[in-house]
Chains A and B, each alone.
Chain A
Amino acid sequence: MEEFIARLNQAGVRYAVIGGQAIRLHGMPRFSLDWDLLIPARDAGNFERLNAAVGEWLEEPVVPLGPRGENFVQTFQTRFGVVQFHLAVPGIASFDVAEAAAVDMPLEAGTSCRVLSAEDLLQSKLAAGRSQDQLDVEFLKEKRRK
């Protein structure tokens, strides 16, 4: 996955890792089947850069959010595993705000990765209100106290 993230970085793609991998990068040991990336919903230039950078690993291009919410999550099987692009996330007012608060974190081999802030992750988990996120929420609240 480092190669995938490195390509995004080199191309100047706007993204922030969310979901299970983001929680793990913030410090909670955790399994995840996929990588979830939040991207701006209608930034044409960003879609262009994204598809140019990693399109060869996706069977189809990632497309903007439709007028009735179509395509708000797009899931691809890649040689790096399952990658999901989210064009909106509950609890996050806008990509621009989340991007400003996002943090750069190193992956296992040292590639820098843009990750949603712990506070925004917490807000997204609280807004989703899923019982399976209980431990994630507890960890993020504990992290907030540190």
Chain B
Amino acid sequence: MEGMKAVDDPHAKVRFWAAAAARPDFRPPPCPVPENLPKFPPQRFSSYAEMNAWKRRYLLEIARQGGVKWKSSLPG
């Protein structure tokens, strides 16, 4: 749209990421790793409904402990 800056366009970042991913020198963006996640035993689910219900409870537990700390996934 005329007079619109790229930063005003909510789709601009998507186009930017897709263009960057198509370059030959592309490296995946790093993802911070969560620390101090609440402990839980192995879980087995028979449906997404079951899994999502457990995940909601787990996220509430994370919220109750004040969130998680994140650390860099970059080597070194």
Query: Does A107 belong to the interface (CB within 8 Å)?
Result: yes
Interface residue ranges of A48-96 to B (CB < 8 Å): 58-60, 63, 66, 68-77, 81-82
Q: Say whether A108 contacts B74, CB under 8 Å.
A: yes
Interface residue ranges of A16-40 to B (CB < 8 Å): 21, 24-33
* Interface size of B in residues (CB-CB distance below 8 Å): 35
Interface of B is mostly: loop
Max chain B Cβ within 10 angstroms of own Cβ: one of A24, A27, A69, A142 = A27
Q: How far is the CA of A29 from the CA of B15 in the complex (A)?
A: 13
Q: How far is the CA of A60 from the CA of B40 in the complex (A)?
A: 13
* Interface size of A in residues (CB-CB distance below 8 Å): 41
Q: Say whether B31 contacts A21, CB under 8 Å.
A: yes
Q: Say whether B34 contacts A106, CB under 8 Å.
A: no
